[in-house]
Structure 1
């Protein structure tokens, strides 16, 4: 028994049995039909039988799934900033978070294609209640973030996760992806929660924070989609928050959001790997010895990298101008693109609701305000 058994992904020797247990599940059948539309069932069942590791499964099956998603629901994926990463080094990617499944899937496809170390990725246990999804997540090297625990258990869970992430990076030379905040950003404001950094620092022991965070090899990751396929689905939660109301999710809401994110139109997508943060931690430590202030400064530093390197699309500039009744950024889009975006707005939400329309536009416009404001 490992101390991490409650949250870890599968070990390689467990992969074949795990695949066998879900190979004939209807959802796996649908997933593989989508992935290999021109192949018979025996084709991918043979791939499952031959998969002896997570790497085998990702190379032979899941990478093809992600390529199919890109082909069918996007106009392509571009990247920047990855060339300065070393192929034999693990990194902690701290990322803005737009889509439940795709953010990490796209990053790992990029890492695979560039010969870099792929990630083990954090996922909320609330997203994998169904056994099939739980097994599939562990087969994709996801580890569980335990949600909704009492305060004392939450503290122990955070410490366990911190130690697991540190172990992955240092002992296994495995890269890690973690979102800069709990849950997806729904209003377009990408901000690092200090609590995420506090959790990571739990593994530091008595080491100075600067020294510890340098050892993690932190890479801020900026992910941007021209169209957010789940934009309208995020609106009820955004509206509830604006009215200080408690939002209660439907039972299958997360699963529906996953499907919409995967299959919905995204147009263009861009991932940027920021500079590896190293000397910046020393500079923060030289300004203040207060740990809370250091964590605040680290959060701001990550935010600045994610925002500065965020790829702005015509949709972002259009939304900003529509929101402000201006043509400030009209040089960044064509009239045809504006008309398409306005048509999407009309189709996705009830635009006669002024508050709803404002929130929808802000989701796309806030990255412009944050980067250019």
Structure 2
């Protein structure tokens, strides 16, 4: 088993030898089994679900018995992703992958529109291009249930402790996170992390310099200047564009609610609902653009953030709905109808938020 003196044991993904025990914990997690039964047999009576519970556990034990390594889990996820992309997109395209060295580890800093699909699409492209898949940064705000933590850590996700309280605990969490990112890159494992905390619900993709400062916490410990340390990380900006955002109405309503009432109260299962909607909802065409490795000298997090933003905006693939939202009427009638149908689902005063979410990528183009 894994040694307990591992400084990253609380946040890192599971190693191959830890997978059987994690799967066993999942199968015995009543909340997890309950969620499956609720999803699969939502119209059935409670007694029927209780009857099905041991059968579901036996089925999962059999189905997952062959999942004994990170690789076998990723291949299983890929099968599911193949089906999902076939039914929920009109094709996924990639650019910039040919510039990346298959033997190198990169720190992919990406715009963030969808909780689960963004890193999944990056991984999908890397896998198809015979590159190694990434370790995925995920906020602990999405891991309130133990079963969610198990599932994510089984699939190469590591935990960003946003809920750390107090300066000392926060600094410790940042130091561990920064050290883990450097350790991963140094041992040949690429990283995916969003350019800021939370999704860009307004379509404005801008990097939070605080994340770039976090990268350097380990560098400060090693007494390496910011500019030199950043070069060693091989940062690659990534732009992900969806022709249709399955969560666009929910995002617009949230922004409207915040503007109207000064705050927005998130429902207990809202994050989970967003994840499911993002996976099963129609995405239209999707494009993932890998930018250039950042090799120039940037002395400050702000200057580096500007370069990441420049690449993300420049490489963002615009679709006709973006052009229409930004005021260009020279688009097909079905695109106009599609935007109109979306707006009809919102109160009139909330409609500008949805329009802005599709227009902002056009406005941000350099």
What TM-score comes out, normalization by structure 2 length? Answer: 0.87
Cα drift, residue 82 of structure 1: 0.5
Q: Is the 8 A contact 2:253 2:346 kept in 1?
A: no
The 3 A distance-change label for structure 1 pair 228 and 139 is: same
Deviates more, 1:8-17 or 1:181-190: 8-17
**Does structure 1 residue 272 correspond to structure 2 residue 266?**
no
**Does structure 1 residue 251 correspond to structure 2 residue 268?**
yes
Cα drift, residue 334 of structure 1: 1.0
1:36 is aligned to none
Where structure 2 has 5 or more consecutive residues not aligned to the other structure, the ranges are 42-55
Partner-residue secondary structure (3-state), 1:76: strand
Q: Is the 8 A contact 1:20 1:49 kept in 2?
A: no
1:291 is aligned to none
2:108 is aligned to 93
2:184 is aligned to 168
2:250 is aligned to 233
Q: Is the 8 A contact 1:100 1:258 kept in 2?
A: yes
Whole-angstrom CA distance in 2 between matches of 1:15 and 1:317: 47
**Does structure 1 residue 155 correspond to structure 2 residue 204?**
no
Cα drift, residue 236 of structure 1: 3.4
1:330 is aligned to 329
Cα drift, residue 173 of structure 1: 0.7
Whole-angstrom CA distance in 2 between matches of 1:222 and 1:101: 15
Q: Is the 8 A contact 1:89 1:117 kept in 2?
A: no
Whole-angstrom CA distance in 2 between matches of 1:119 and 1:357: 37
1:7 is aligned to 11
2:47 is aligned to none
2:326 is aligned to 320
Equivalent runs, 1:50-89 vs 2, <5 Å: 50-59=66-75, 61-89=76-104
Whole-angstrom CA distance in 1 between matches of 2:62 and 2:332: 49
1:136 is aligned to 151
Partner-residue secondary structure (3-state), 2:365: helix
1:342 is aligned to 340
Whole-angstrom CA distance in 2 between matches of 1:41 and 1:75: 36
Cα drift, residue 318 of structure 1: 1.3
Where structure 1 has 5 or more consecutive residues not aligned to the other structure, the ranges are 34-39, 286-293, 322-328
Partner-residue secondary structure (3-state), 1:97: coil
Partner-residue secondary structure (3-state), 1:270: strand
Runs of 4+ off more than 4 Å = 27-33, 40-47
Partner-residue secondary structure (3-state), 2:287: strand
Q: Is the 8 A contact 2:210 2:301 kept in 1?
A: no
Cα drift, residue 77 of structure 1: 0.6
Cα drift, residue 343 of structure 1: 1.6
2:362 is aligned to 368
Q: Is the 8 A contact 1:23 1:29 kept in 2?
A: no
Whole-angstrom CA distance in 2 between matches of 1:345 and 1:134: 36
- What are the superposed Cα offsets for residues 177-210 of structure 1, whole Å, 9 maximum, x if unpaired? 0000011111010000010001111010211212
RMSD, matched Cα: 2.3
Cα drift, residue 48 of structure 1: 2.3
1:304 is aligned to 310
Q: Is the 8 A contact 1:186 1:234 kept in 2?
A: yes
Deviates more, 1:16-25 or 1:192-201: 16-25
What TM-score comes out, normalization by structure 1 length? Answer: 0.86
**Does structure 1 residue 111 correspond to structure 2 residue 126?**
yes
